[in-house]
Structure 1
Amino acid sequence: MTEMRERLVNVIQGDFMISDDPEVVLTTVLGSCIAVCLYDPEKQVGGMNHFLLPEGEGSDTSDVRYGANAMELLINGLLKAGADRDLLEAKIFGGAKMMGNLRNIGESNAVFAHQFLRDESIPCIAESVGGTAARRIRFWPTTGLVRQLTVQGKLDQVAPARPIQDRAKTKDDIVLF
């Protein structure tokens, strides 16, 4: 029996990634940005994008910073990788309000993502959007599993670290996510 090793692949702002490799885990950190995780449960292929704004000025359709382009590129990439468009399922993450006194870009991003998926008849089966906390996302593209860790912005909300020698004695307190 072989041991399966996970390989983390970071999806940075303005990028997308597709995989049918069961060892790949796509990961990103989101504030007001949105990540849409799409996958085909039958073909076991999926992908994640990470966009900053709903739509941009001009006609550059390759600029993945914008949701309109990021979504089209992700869907087309999945189809090229063998996904069946009728089986695609989506999960949406991010869209936090990171700056209290500025326009709520996160909300605009989330509204855009939902509307795009409705227009394309792709069901959104899970989401975690809004709020004020950043999120770290891990997405297994062959199964559709997503794990989320919320990251609070205030240092006073972080538990104090225990000394290293104490941590070595306790196995039960290690939580990856």
Structure 2
Amino acid sequence: MVHNPEMLPGYLLQPGFLFIPDEGTVISTVLGSCVAVALFDRKNQKGGMNHFLYPQAPDPSRATTLYGNVSTAALIHCFIKSHSQKVDLEAMIFGGASPPSIPEAQAIAKNNISTALALLQKAEIPISVNDTGGTKGRKIIFDTLSGESVVYRVERLRSGDWYPYKGMRE
């Protein structure tokens, strides 16, 4: 059977969430200084993704998936709990862009990237794609059945960017 991503359901991943579908899905998200980590299990042909805004939860009582240390650890944990083996996993990291004129955004973006990299290194999950940094935002499309991703870099993010493919499947 030929894999056709256009026939898969779509899911828009909002900031502060993670999504690991039970069936093949095309996950889309839009990133500025935020970072998304996608995991793909090559053996089971299953993928999932997170999207976080900040690197570290300031204290345990505020530990949610808005923070990279919580979100990325939870994503890894969900794969391992669902019987994925670390040797079958690969990671893709996207985002962490910031305009040079906003130093606060630059610091958050840089720390978001560092957090994701450190957690994946600690978990010994290889990174197959690292499309991070710079000044341009990104639109990401991730096929959870094939593990393929597409990155569109954009000068500025608009409200319509949050679901750039709406209407294509209607």
Q: How far off its partner does 1:107 sit?
A: 1.3
Q: Which amino acid in the other structure matches residue 89 of structure 1?
A: E
Higher helix residue share:
2
One-letter amino acid matched to 2:55: P
Q: Secondary structure at the match of 1:128?
A: strand
Structure possessing the higher radius of gyration over alpha carbons: 1
Give, in whole Å, the separation in 1 of the partners of 2:40 and 2:12.
17
Q: Does residue 1:21 correspond to 2:23, yes or no?
A: yes
- 1:70-109, aligned counterparts within 5 Å? 70-98=71-99, 100-103=101-104, 104=106, 105-109=108-112
Deviation at 1:111, TM superposition (A): 1.4
**Structure 2: distance between partners of 1:2 and 1:118:** 34
Counterparts of 1:79 and 1:57 in 2: how far apart (Å)? 26
Aligned mates of 2:75, 2:102 — CA distance in 1 = 32
Q: Match of 1:37? A: 38
Structure 1 residue 82: deviation in Å? Answer: 3.2
CA 1:54–1:154 in 2, change beyond 3 Å: closer, same or farther? closer
Q: Cα–Cα, structure 1 residues 102 and 44, in superposed 2: closer, same or farther, change >3 Å?
A: same
Distance in 1 between the 2:89 and 2:157 partners?
37
Runs of at least 4 residues off by over 2 Å: 1-4, 79-82
- Checking the alignment, whether the CA contact within 8 Å between 1:33 and 1:53 is kept in structure 2 is yes
Q: Distance in 2 between matches of 1:2 and 1:132?
A: 37
Where 2:60 maps in the other structure, the secondary structure is coil
Equivalence for 1:168: none
CA contact (8 A) 1:20 1:46 kept: no
Structure 2 gap segments, 5+ residues each = 159-170
**2:167 aligned residue:** none
Partners of 1:115 and 1:139 lie apart in 2 by 22
Give the TM-score normalised by the residue count of structure 2: 0.82
Instruction: Find the partner of 1:129 among 128, 132, 144.
Output: 132
Give the structure 1 partner of residue 161 of structure 2. none
Distance in 2 between residues matched to 1:35 and 1:125, nearest whole Å: 14
**Which whole-Å CA distance do the structure 2 matches of 1:108 and 1:146 have between them?**
23
State the one-letter code of the partner of 2:23. Answer: D
Secondary structure of residue in 2 paired with 1:29: strand
CA offset digits 1:145-169 (Å, max 9, x no partner): 00011111299xxxxxxxxxxxxxx
Q: Deviations over 1:100-126 (max 9, x none)?
A: 232311111111111111111111111
Aligned residue identity for 1:135: R
Q: CA RMSD in A?
A: 2.2
Q: CA deviation at 1:25?
A: 0.5
How high is the TM-score relative to the length of structure 1?
A: 0.79
Amino acid at match of 1:141: T
1:57 maps to 58
